[in-house]
Structure formats: C-alpha cells, structure tokens
Amino acid sequence: MKHRKPVLDRRKAVADILKERRNALVVAGLGAPCWDIAAADESPLNFYTWGGMGGAAMIGLGLALAQPRRRVLVITGDGEMLMGLGSLATIGVQQPRNLAVIVLDNERYGETGMQLTHTRLGVELAGVAKASGFRAAGTIYSAAQLKTWIPRLHRQLGPVFAAIKVTAQPAPMVLPVRDGATLKTRFREALLGAKALE
C-alpha cells in the first residue's frame, strides 16, 4: 500500500476536538498527547499519564463504565496504542457507548528519537479497532475529514475510534502536573465532589 504523508498539525487537531468537549472526561496517553492536551485545554478532568505505556485505552474503559452518562475521550499516540492493542479487543467486547479512542498518529516514537512505529510500516489501527467491534472507526488525513469526525467523536454511539494522521513536527512542550496522586485526587474531586475524599 502506498504511504500517504500526514499533513495535519497535532496541536490544532487536539484544540479543535477539545473546543467541543463540554463536560467530557479526558485521558491523555503518555508523551506528546499530554503536552497537546495541556496546551489546548488544561482541566482537572484531564487525567495525564506519565507512565503505564499501553494503558490509556483501558483507563478510558474503566472510566467510561463507571461514568456512563459522561463522554470519555482517550487521546493518545500511536506507539502507546500499539503497546495496548489487545485493549481494543477488550473494549470491543464491552461496547461502552460513551467512549471514544483518538490516536494522534505521527507514525513515530516521538519521545525517544522519532523512530518509525508499525503505523508507518503498514499497520492500520482503525482496521484493528473495526475488526475488534468498534461501532465506528476511521483514519483521518485531512482537515475536512477531521471536521466531519469531531461531532462523531463527541456524540456518536461508541465505542468510536479515530486515528488522526499528524505530522512528526514537534510542538513546544507544555508540561501538566506530574504527581500521580495529585492528578487522581483533583480529577476525582472535580468529578465526584466530596465523595472523592471519603
């Protein structure tokens, strides 16, 4: 299959998605997706991961099942998603209606020297998601496609999956809170109120 060169800017894509988030809960996969989300829309209802590579989609599943009335967006990278491919199958089995998994796919391990990932070498994540039982799954290459996908990411019956092909151009680092217990506590307080500290 001929390679199609990514053209979208990751920072702009994330900003466009989060502009429409309303009260959605966001799980950020480790590395650049954390900086993108912190830059676009810092909030206590963002849970940033600084480790546990491969776990972002499963954090999203646990959260989506616990909070069925809230939209849950997992925004992660291609390397992180590839490490937890099995979680797409696990999500497919559970069919959470309120979960969207969004991969910012630059086809690189961006934090370690821009080595190519499997997505540059023929692996199509949306195909895996579709075959795993996601109700909607697609690969987004253009701004026009992204525009039609944004309402789906926020509202279509899930599980929804989108791989957004973004350039390997790094954006300035915007570092969010990194203490895990603090991230957890502020998220729970914002979501659950006083019950969070019982």
Partner 1 sequence: MLRAQQVRQVTYVPDSGHARLIELVRADRDMRAIPLTTEEEGVALSVGAWLGGEKSVLLMQSSGSGNCINMLGMVQECRVPLPMLITMRGEWGEFNPWQVHMSLATAPALAAMGVVLRTVDSADDIGETVDAALRLAYNTCRGVAVLIAQRVIGAKQFK
Contact positions toward partner 1, by CB under 8 A? 25, 27, 47, 49-67, 84, 86-87, 89-90, 93-94, 180-181, 183-184, 187-188, 191-192, 195-196
Q: Give the Cα separation of 8 and 146 in Å (integer).
A: 9
Q: What share of the chain is helix, strand, coil (3-state, %, to 5)?
A: 45, 20, 35
* Closer residue to partner 1 in complex, CB, 50/141: 50
First to last CA, the chain: 55
Note whether 36 and 11 are within 8 A (CB): yes
Nearest residue (CB) to partner 1, 13 versus 88? 88
52: exposed, middle or buried (Cβ count in 10 Å: 0-12, 13-18, 19+): middle
Rg (CA), the chain: 16
Give least dist CB 12 to partner 1, A: 28
CB of 143 to partner 1, least distance (A): 31
Instruction: Kindly tell me which of 35 and 48 has the beta carbon lying closer to partner 1.
Output: 48
Q: How far is the CB of 128 from partner 1 (least distance, A)?
A: 12
Minimum separation from the CB atom of position 20 to partner 1 (A): 21
Q: Which is nearer to partner 1, 55 or 110 (CB)?
A: 55
